[in-house]
Amino acid sequence: MNKQKLAEWIDAHFGEEVGVLQQLLRVPTDTPPGNNAPHAEMVADLVKAYGWTAEKHAVPEQAVHDHGMQSITNLIVRRPYAAGGPTVALNAHGDVVPPGDNWTYPPYGGVVEDGFIYGRAAAVSKCDFATYIFAVRALEALGVPLKGGLELHFTYDEEFGGLLGPGWLLDQKLTKPDYVIAAGFSYNIVTAHNACLQLEVTVHGKSGHGAMPETGHDALQAATRILNAIYDQLPELKKIKSKIAGIDSPTMLVGRIDGGTNTNVVPGKVVLKMDRRMIPEEDPVAVEAQVRALIENAVQGMPGITLEIKRLLLSHALRELSGTEKLVASIQQNAETFIGEKIPAQGTPLYADARLYGEHGIPAVLYGAGPRTVPESNAKKADERLNLEDLRKATKVVAATLFDFLAAT
pTM of this prediction? Answer: 0.89
CA dihedral 160, 162, 163, 168 (to 10 degrees): 140
Please determine, for residue 75, whether its predicted confidence score (pLDDT) is greater than 90: yes
pLDDT in tens, 95-139: 999 999 999 999 999 999 999 999 999 999 999 999 999 999 999
Which pLDDT score is estimated for 94? 97
pLDDT in tens, 237-253: 999 999 999 999 999 99
Q: Place 372 in a pLDDT band, splitting at 50, 70 and 90.
A: confident
Please determine, for residue 349, whether its predicted confidence score (pLDDT) is greater than 80: yes
pLDDT in tens, 286-344: 999 999 999 999 999 999 999 999 999 888 999 999 999 999 999 999 999 999 999 99
How much of the chain exceeds pLDDT 90, in percent? 93
Which pLDDT score is estimated for 380? 87
Which pLDDT score is estimated for 338? 97
pLDDT in tens, 32-62: 999 999 999 999 999 999 999 999 999 999 9
Which pLDDT score is estimated for 111? 98
pLDDT in tens, 142-151: 999 999 999 9
Which pLDDT score is estimated for 373? 82
Q: Place 381 in a pLDDT band, splitting at 50, 70 and 90.
A: very high
Q: What integer is the mean pLDDT of 362-377?
A: 91
Which pLDDT score is estimated for 187? 87
Please determine, for residue 4, whether its predicted confidence score (pLDDT) is greater than 80: yes
pLDDT in tens, 196-228: 999 999 999 999 999 999 999 999 999 999 999
pLDDT in tens, 265-290: 999 999 999 999 999 999 999 999 99
Which pLDDT score is estimated for 269? 97
- Using alpha carbons, select from 227, 196, 161, 199 the residue that is nearest to residue 308: 199
Which pLDDT score is estimated for 204? 98
Q: How many CB atoms lie within 10 A of CB 342?
A: 10
